[in-house]
Amino acid sequence: MAEKKEKAKNLGLVKVRALAAEVIGCGKNKVWMDPTESIKLSEGKTKEQVSQMVEDGLIVRRPDVGQSRGRVRQFRLEKSKGRHRGLGRRRGTKNARFPQRKIWMLRIRALRKDLKALRTEGRIDRTMYRSIYLKAKGGYFKNRRMLKEYVVNEELRKKKEEIVMAQMNISK
């Protein structure tokens, strides 16, 4: 007999839970009802009564539970230190992981940026700019340092030529 009463009481609470979910504006599983006040709760038959119970704090909306990002942050930190990147973890080809085209684009953009800076500084003239630009396009320079070394060597070569030309003019 006690079981039937318990079921009947729970049935009443099912209705109250559904009404509360509607009043609060959430799902039924998000509704928390105070278990110590089950008798009062089972008296709630209308939305007005249920909303009063919500105001009184007998019925509360459970907080949203999000997914923890802690493990992801930890994994990212480890990856930034170089962990989890061994041969066994690699799925794609070398080119798929970091495409050669992308490497080329990064390199050529850096070289052209440096070239423009050298031209605006006045360290190289138009003809030298053009020849170096084409050399860069042809893959002559592996990196920015090589480009700068080339420019320095060209400047030295030009100075030597000027000195030699000046000496030749003096000797005439």
CA dihedral 68, 72, 78, 79 (to 10 degrees): -170
pLDDT at 139: 96
Confidence class for position 5, pLDDT limits 50, 70, 90: low
**Which tokens hold the place of 145?**
């340092």
**Which tokens hold the place of 146?**
């090589």
Confidence class for position 10, pLDDT limits 50, 70, 90: low
pLDDT tens string 129-162: 999 999 999 999 999 999 999 999 999 999 999 9
> Per-domain residue ranges for the chain?
2-61, 98-171
Query: Which residue type sits at 5?
Result: K
**Domain spanning 2-61: CATH 1.10.1650.10:** yes
Q: What is the CATH number of domain 98-171?
A: 1.10.1200.240
